[in-house]
Amino acid sequence: MRILVVGSGGREHALCWTIAASPLCEELYCAPGNAGIAQDAVCVPVGAEDLDGLIALARDKRIDYVVVGPEGPLVAGLVDRLAEAGIKAFGPSAAAAALEGSKGFMKDLCAKYGIPTAGYRRFTEAAAAKAYLRAQGVPIVVKADGLAAGKGVTVATTLAEAEAAVEAAMEGDAFGAAGSELVIEEFLEGEEASFFALVDGETALPLATAQDHKRVGDGDTGPNTGGMGAYSPAPVLTEARCQEVMERIILPTVRGMKAEGRPYKGVLYAGLMVTPAEVKLLEYNVRFGDPECQVLMMRLMSDLLPALIATTDGVLSSFDLRWYDEAALVVVMAAKGYPGAYEKGSAIRGLGDAAQNDDVMVFHAGTKAGLENEILANGGRVLGVTAIAPAIAEAQARAYRAVDRIDWPEGFCRRDIGWRALGKTGG
Ligand code: AMP
Ligand code: GLY
């Protein structure tokens, strides 16, 4: 098969690395890709948001199957457009991608189908939103309805902060159209974890669990980022908890989406809040997580590609995937300054040295090749140094040993990825 992967981050490098190893894959393209992906796929400079360009590329290269990495093109309808062009693709339709594209839609679906989530209300007027804030008190959570590149959520501990978030979104236009509607919801306490499942419209096949590290600094301090590291599995999601997530969250969602005439096909990524009493849904994403995908792909024993195709074809019920029992952990190396302003173009050395062993893989995110094929930083999150080992403590040690072999003075990483899991398992 001739496969095209859409995207350019660490997630897409992990997907390309995995798909390239599939016996079903004859030719692999990635648009636009990065310097690491170029080792596994032919990179073509078409942006992930350029729907017309992607359709033309898929036609030109006679692509049999497209795998869409990021949420932007999914919410914009890339999979629908490809279907119209007669090209099969992995990922939800625009109507189904509303689970991530509109937080209000997601919350209404939860309310209608009894899926446990934080109590909420939707607003289109700043005055009504503020009156609600005053009536509810703090802590409270203010969310822009649409896609806001991970910046649309404010967990407010003072009323002033909550009101400022409403004003920034609705009056200041901080998120453009994404902020013209808001969801205000109850603050939930607990431990966050992620659960991934493949969904083919009717059936859900659980994949694995993971935990991300959203804050930029050690000890979960500083501003939010796209994710500074992750590990899988998440010890907090025990087998009993995973069963609860399937029965109370994932399966009712699959049935609800079908009943709404928006059958969901693709990977469903549930962001969860785990409390001693129950697991509640914080948010849905309609794609693999980044960097969670990197640890999932390290742990996957089976061939991913047939599972993706079975998802698209609606035949997941006869499908099974095998996983290594081992733990995987990824440390993200970012350009100094990220998630604020950062420089591009610094040289990264020692990558070969870092990934000498089979148990370590350095996935590229924001990289590009220089004139002499040297690797240059080209984004905020730049590398995902990923290791697999029998337990999380060892995976962590392996990942940091590899990080320390990378010579990139302009980069930084958190030094504590995995701390929550290690606290739980006593190291
Ligand atoms: P989201 O983009 O919806 O995942 O939200 C970003 C982050 O905000 C989450 O990872 C949580 O840490 C936090 N968050 C979102 N909703 C809530 C909530 N209802 N209660 C507490 N924290 C939340
Ligand atoms: N790592 C969080 C996300 O992919 O949304």
Residue 256: pLDDT above 50? yes
* CB-based contact 366:377 (threshold 8 Å): yes
Query: How far away, in angstroms, is 62 Cα from ligand 2 center?
Result: 31
Query: How far away, in angstroms, is 420 Cα from ligand 1 center?
Result: 18
Query: How far away, in angstroms, is 134 Cα from ligand 2 center?
Result: 31
Task: Could you list the beta-strand ranges (E) of 177-275.
Answer: 182-186, 191-200, 204-212, 215-217, 221-224, 229-232, 265-274
Residue 426: pLDDT above 50? no
The answer to whether the CB of 100 is under 6 A from ligand 2 is no
Owner of token pair 């909420």: 120
The answer to whether the CB of 290 is under 6 A from ligand 2 is yes
Mutate to test the pocket of ligand 2, among 209, 292, 330, 381 (most ligand atoms within 8 A of CB): 292
Please give the Cα distance from 381 to 399 (Å, whole number): 16
Q: Given this model, what pLDDT does residue 425 score?
A: 54
Domains of the chain by range and CATH?
A: 2-93 (3.40.50.20), 125-180 (3.30.1490.20), 191-318 (3.30.470.20), 327-425 (3.90.600.10)
Average pLDDT over residues 228-255: 97
Which residue CA neighbors atom 9 of ligand 1 most closely? 282
pLDDT band at 427 (very low <50, low <70, confident <90, very high): very low
Residue 252: pLDDT above 60? yes
How far apart, in Å, do the first and last CA atoms of the chain sit? 44
Q: Given this model, what pLDDT does residue 178 score?
A: 65
As a whole number, the mean pLDDT across the chain is 95
The full length of the chain comes to: 427
pLDDT digits (tens, 9 = 90+) for 159-182: 999 999 998 888 776 667 666 899
More confident residue, 421 or 323: 323
pLDDT band at 391 (very low <50, low <70, confident <90, very high): very high
Q: Which residues contact 280 (CB under 8 A, 6 or more apart)?
A: 116, 117, 118, 188, 190, 272, 273
Query: How far away, in angstroms, is 302 Cα from ligand 2 center?
Result: 23
Which residue CA neighbors atom 4 of ligand 2 most closely? 289
Ligand closest to 211 (CA) is 2
Q: Given this model, what pLDDT does residue 173 score?
A: 67
The answer to whether the CB of 212 is under 6 A from ligand 2 is yes
Which residue CA neighbors atom 3 of ligand 2 most closely? 289
- H or E segment and range at residue 330: strand 327-335
